[in-house]
Amino acid sequence: MAEKVLIVDDDKAFLAILAERMQNRGMEVSTAESAAAAMQLLAKESYDAVLLDLMMPEMGGIEAFQIMRRTQPEVQVIFLTGHPSVSKGVEAMKLGAMDFLPKPVDMNELSEKIKQAKASRMILAAKRTQEKIRKILTDKSW
Amino acid sequence: MTQDAGMIGQAGLQFFGKMCASVSHDIKNVLAVINENAGLLEDFCLMAEKGRPIDPARLKRLAGDIQEQIRRGDRIVTGMNRFAHSADAPSMDVDLSELTDLLAALALRFAAARGVQVHVKRPRGAVRITTAPFVLLNLMWLCLDEAMAFAGPERIVELAAEDSADGACLRFCRIRRLKDTPDGSLPTVLSSVLCSFLRAQVSFDPDANQMTLLLPKNGG
């Protein structure tokens, strides 16, 4: 099954071209030009990976990620930034981001990261299901 | 070197650094898009090698997209160049409306980050003054930064350069929240020093939702 990816970036040209390249690689891609638009999509769909621009107007990537994490704890976020800094990278990873990649992106590297994101998400989803089952069994004293 | 001169120098350096950092970010974004376009070309070639035909119309659009990014990059670099040259001389004859256009272009990213649009209302002709252009841009930026903080619900700040009886003025309009803090946060120590250097003055008119930077004909 194809990886399902959401790209969030305020640069329309970058968004469109990255989406096309990823679709050519067989991925199912949605796009959002702002964190707010991304939240609306995430409320309706789940994604294997979210590519999140670090610097966006009104709500930046870090703040958006923190909100995403509260509503979808399994969401795998890869930050993209034109100006990677050690401090921002550390902050993102401490918050639980999957990775932090510089722009311009290396498509092969990005594709690999997205495959890893899908695998991680599936493992987390399976764990969550197991815990739910365990809780049900415990509650019913079975 | 007097204390004021030192402050102007230090503030100028910080202002220059801030704008350069913003411009470099914009240029990086342009390069990122061009990189993706180059990558897409490569993708098409790989697909063609595997037997998938290349669509000439798509290639033409791709070429157009690359050219558009080049134009975008050129605009950014041209603005950066004009900004850099504003520090060439301590006193120059300038067109305030052109400086206003330059300020709006430099402030674009900062305004977007705050959800504000900066509109420039162009005068009929040139608004010429003699001034220290780089120092004036620094002061204009401080005023714009203040104005954006007081932007109204429509999140627009309008800039209008005009001739005045004693020289020229730059109006920062539609700052509807100025009524909440009638005197704004200016003057700060820095803005006062810059105003003194340029023989300029900042005035507030909350009823008209505007702030005005008054400039002498010859402040340089």
Give this complex's ipTM: 0.80
Tell me which of B38, B62, B85 is where a domain ends.
B85
> Is the pLDDT reported for residue B1 higher than 80?
no
Domain boundary among B70, B85, B100: B85
Å between A47 CA and nearest CA of chain B: 22
**Predicted confidence (pLDDT) per residue in A54-105, tens digit:** 888 888 888 899 988 887 888 899 999 877 677 777 888 888 889 988 888 8
Count of structural domains, chain B: 2
Q: How far is B33 from chain A (nearest CA, A)?
A: 5
Output the DSSP codes for B186-206.
PPPHHHHHHHHHHT-EEEEEG
Say whether residue B25 is in contact with chain A using an 8 A CB cutoff.
Answer: yes
If one counts every other C-beta atom within 10 angstroms of the C-beta of residue B120, the result is: 16
Per-residue pLDDT tens digits for B136-151: 999 999 999 999 999 9
Residue B201, pLDDT > 60, answer: yes
Whether the Cβ atoms of residue A48 and residue B68 lie closer than 8 Å to each other: no
Chain B residues lying within 8 Å of A57, measured CB to CB = 112-115
Residues B66 and B96 in one domain: no
Domains of chain A: 4-139 (3.40.50.2300)
Give the closest of B32, B65, B69 to A82, CB-based.
Answer: B32
The whole-angstrom distance between B138's CA and the closest CA on chain A is: 23
For residue B181, pLDDT over 80 is answered with: no
Asked if residue B79 and residue B98 are part of one domain, the reply reads: no
Residues B117 and B81 in one domain: no
Taking the C-alpha atoms of residue B46 and residue A135, their distance in angstroms, rounded to an integer, is: 51
Are B109 and B184 found together in one domain? yes
pTM passes above 0.95: no
Residues in chain A: 142
Average pLDDT over residues B33-42: 94
Q: Residue B132's domain is classified under what CATH number?
A: 3.30.565.10
Examine the domain organization and report whether B153 and B177 are in the same domain.
yes
Query: Which of B39, B70, B85 is the last residue in one of the domains?
Result: B85
Claim to verify: residue B42 and residue B144 sit in the same structural domain: no
C-alpha span between A58 and A90 (Å, rounded): 22
B81 with B136, same domain: the answer is no
A17 and B25 within 8 Å at the Cβ level: the answer is no
Write down the pLDDT at residue B70: 97
Q: Which of B28, B40, B65 sits opposite A21 (nearest CB)?
A: B40
Residue B220's pLDDT band (cuts 50, 70, 90): low
Q: Which of A17, A57, A83 sits opposite B33 (nearest CB)?
A: A17
Enumerate the residues of chain B whose CB falls inside 8 A of the CB of residue A20.
Answer: 40
Q: Looking at the structure, do residues B59 and B97 belong to the same domain, yes or no?
A: no
> Is there a single domain that holds both residue B194 and residue B115?
yes
Residue span of the structural domain in which B180 resides: 92-216
- Region B150-172: mean pLDDT is 94
Is A104 part of the contact surface with chain B (CB cutoff 8 Å)?
Answer: yes
Residues B205 and B96 in one domain: yes
Range in A98-107, B25-34, B101-110 with the lowest mean pLDDT: A98-107
Residues B107, B167, single domain; the answer is: yes
**Which comes out higher in pLDDT, residue A73 or B100?**
B100
pLDDT digits (tens, 9 = 90+) for B58-91: 999 999 999 999 999 999 999 999 999 999 999 9
Shortest CA distance from A107: residue in chain B:
B39
- Average pLDDT for B187-214: 92
Q: Considering only B10-19, B97-106, B125-134, B211-220, which range has the smallest mean pLDDT?
A: B211-220
- Is B79 in the same domain as B151? no
Mutation to test the B interface, candidates A9, A10, A15, A17, most B Cβ within 10 Å? A17
Q: How far apart (Å, rounded) are the C-alpha atoms in residues B149 and B184?
A: 9
How far are the Cα atoms of A97, A100, A116 from residue A77, in angstroms, in the given order? Answer: 5, 9, 11
Q: Which of B33, B46, B58, B71 to mutate to test the interface with A (most CBs of A within 10 A)?
A: B33
